[in-house]
């Protein structure tokens, strides 16, 4: 495998993926200046992918702002849905593996601990648009769909918000609910290893199930910050889109395949410490 095209390399996951692969592998992505493309221009996207002719295509891109997706449904549908169809089609034409990153938000959050076989039922447009992308990716037999939850790293995210806010001596209001947060570095390493193993189909790769309130407390304890400033408010009414209450993922399949601790809160906070220290 000599050429890998990473779409979405400017995001926290794409950045980690770009840093993980050895220098002997040629990486193509927007940050390198060799792959500049408008994600909603399907014709341009197709021409760029075909011209690069990669050995592997990884889609780490998404419009992940849940409220923006609710307000800009047409744009979200193109970025999270139609563009994935174009990528899958190009991968089929080139005869190469296609890796697509999915989300826990395709589920309604009524049950939690969702497995790869559970039926999706999104309750917001972000989840629906991502599900459209999943369907396109799954239609290609040589695809790997990595479903994840609460990815965090060097950009704005809940753990970063908690760390910064507590460091400033301010109160943190943790939205009620459960999920399976994972650091982008651990997720990227898991994707790399699953590709090396030749895995296909849907695989959940995420962290341990935890509430945002408990995660905030663990962050405070990990970094020796004041946990008495953490609050769990009631219903949050300032959000445009609904959120699933328990979107946690069952990761037993990934744990059986990977001989690494990608999932524990401690492992992910250790990676987060490296991010904070940069």
Q: Bigger pLDDT: 37 or 66?
A: 66
| pLDDT value of residue 10 | 83
pLDDT digits (tens, 9 = 90+) for 80-137: 999 999 999 999 999 999 999 999 999 999 999 999 999 999 999 999 999 999 999 9
Query: Rounded to whole angstroms, how far apart are CA atoms 228 and 134?
Result: 41
Q: Bigger pLDDT: 32 or 151?
A: 151
Q: Output the DSSP codes for 165-213.
A: HHHTT--EEPPS-EE--EEHHHHHHHHHHHHHTT--EEEE-----EEHH
Would you say residue 29 has pLDDT above 60? no
Asked if 97 and 233 count as a contact pair (C-beta separation under 8 A), the reply is no
Q: Bigger pLDDT: 145 or 27?
A: 145
Which residues are known to be catalytic? Answer: 126
- Give the HSE-up count for residue 244: Cα atoms under 13 Å, Cβ half-sphere: 30
pLDDT digits (tens, 9 = 90+) for 132-188: 999 999 999 999 999 999 999 988 799 999 999 999 999 999 889 999 999 999 999
pTM: 0.94
| pLDDT value of residue 41 | 84
Asked if 131 and 104 count as a contact pair (C-beta separation under 8 A), the reply is no
- Closest by CA to 169, choosing from 215, 234, 228, is 228
| pLDDT value of residue 103 | 99
Q: What is the mean pLDDT of residues 206-228?
A: 97
By percentage, how much of the chain surpasses pLDDT 70? Answer: 92
Q: Bigger pLDDT: 233 or 43?
A: 43
Q: Which residues pair with 151 in a beta bridge?
A: 182
Local structure of 249: helix, strand or coil: strand
| pLDDT value of residue 275 | 85
Domains of the chain: 3-155+180-209+249-264 (3.40.50.720)
Q: Over the chain, what is the mean pLDDT?
A: 92
3-7 and 56-59 strand pairing: parallel
């Amino acid at each position: 495998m000599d050429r890998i095209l990473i779409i979405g390399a400017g995001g926290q996951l794409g950045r980690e993926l770009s840093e993980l692969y050895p220098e002997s592998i040629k990486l193509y992505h927007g940050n390198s200046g060799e792959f500049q493309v408008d994600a909603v221009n399907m014709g341009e996207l197709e021409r760029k992918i075909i011209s690069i002719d990669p050995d592997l295509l990884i889609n780490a891109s998404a419009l992940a702002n849940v409220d923006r997706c609710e307000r800009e449904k047409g744009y979200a549908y193109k970025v999270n849905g139609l563009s994935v169809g174009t990528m899958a089609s190009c991968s089929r034409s080139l005869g190469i593996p296609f890796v697509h990153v999915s989300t826990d938000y395709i589920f309604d959050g009524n049950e939690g601990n969702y497995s790869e076989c559970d039926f999706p039922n999104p309750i917001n447009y972000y989840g629906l648009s991502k599900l459209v992308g999943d369907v396109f990716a799954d239609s290609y037999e040589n695809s790997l769909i990595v479903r994840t939850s609460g990815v965090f790293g060097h950009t704005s995210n809940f753990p970063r918000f908690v760390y910064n806010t507590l460091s400033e001596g301010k109160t943190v209001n943790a939205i009620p609910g459960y999920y399976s947060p994972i650091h982008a570095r651990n997720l990227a390493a898991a994707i790399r290893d699953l590709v090396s193993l030749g895995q296909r189909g849907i695989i959940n790769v995420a962290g341990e199930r935890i509430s945002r309130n408990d995660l905030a407390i663990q962050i405070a304890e990990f970094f020796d910050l004041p946990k008495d400033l953490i609050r769990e408010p009631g219903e949050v009414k300032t959000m445009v889109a609904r959120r699933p209450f328990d979107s946690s993922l069952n990761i037993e399949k990934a744990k059986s395949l990977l001989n690494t601790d990608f999932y524990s809160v401690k492992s992910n906070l250790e990676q987060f410490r490296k991010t904070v220290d940069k």
